[in-house]
Amino acid sequence: KVQTTAPVNPADYIALPVEKDEPCHACGRRPTSSIKRGGEKKYLCYDCLKAAKRSRVQPLPGVLDHRTFSRTKVELGRCDICGEKRAVYRSREGRTSICDQCYARLVREWNGRAGVR
């Protein structure tokens, strides 16, 4: 998925008490659940706000090693990094459980440092 708009900072938006029938400035869907701070009439739908919150969370580079994680079938709760999705990988050494998206981010980070494309 290629992002064509400026990245959304979830801290710039205030939740509306009631959904509004205005188009989301990021995706164009209706209804919207948040409005941009500062008087700008930019509305954001719930899905775009949730995606923005999830993309803002990133672990410190090099703290977690993806090679210590193993996929589990046991219920682990929520991801320790983003807190949004269901955790499916567990590291006994790092005492951490993460979702598949955060695991993929760790692998991409490691591949980037190792020069793997």
What confidence tens digit (pLDDT) does each residue in 14-59 have? 889 999 999 998 888 989 999 888 878 889 898 888 888 776 666 6
Q: Is pLDDT larger for residue 84 or for residue 37?
A: 37
d(CA 110, CA 86): 23
pLDDT for 5 beyond 80: no
Burial of 69 (0-12, 13-18, 19+ CB in 10 A): buried
Q: What are phi and psi of 57, to 5 degrees?
A: -90, 120
Please state the rounded mean pLDDT for residues 59-87.
84
The sign of the dihedral angle between the CA atoms of 15, 19, 20, 26 is: positive
Q: Which residues pair with 32 in a beta bridge?
A: 20
The per-residue pLDDT for 87 is 93
In this predicted model, what pLDDT tens digit does every residue of 72-82 receive, in sequence order? 998 899 988 87
Q: Which residues pair with 91 in a beta bridge?
A: 69, 96
The per-residue pLDDT for 1 is 47
- Model-wide pTM > 0.75: no
In this predicted model, what pLDDT tens digit does every residue of 92-101 receive, in sequence order? 887 889 999 8
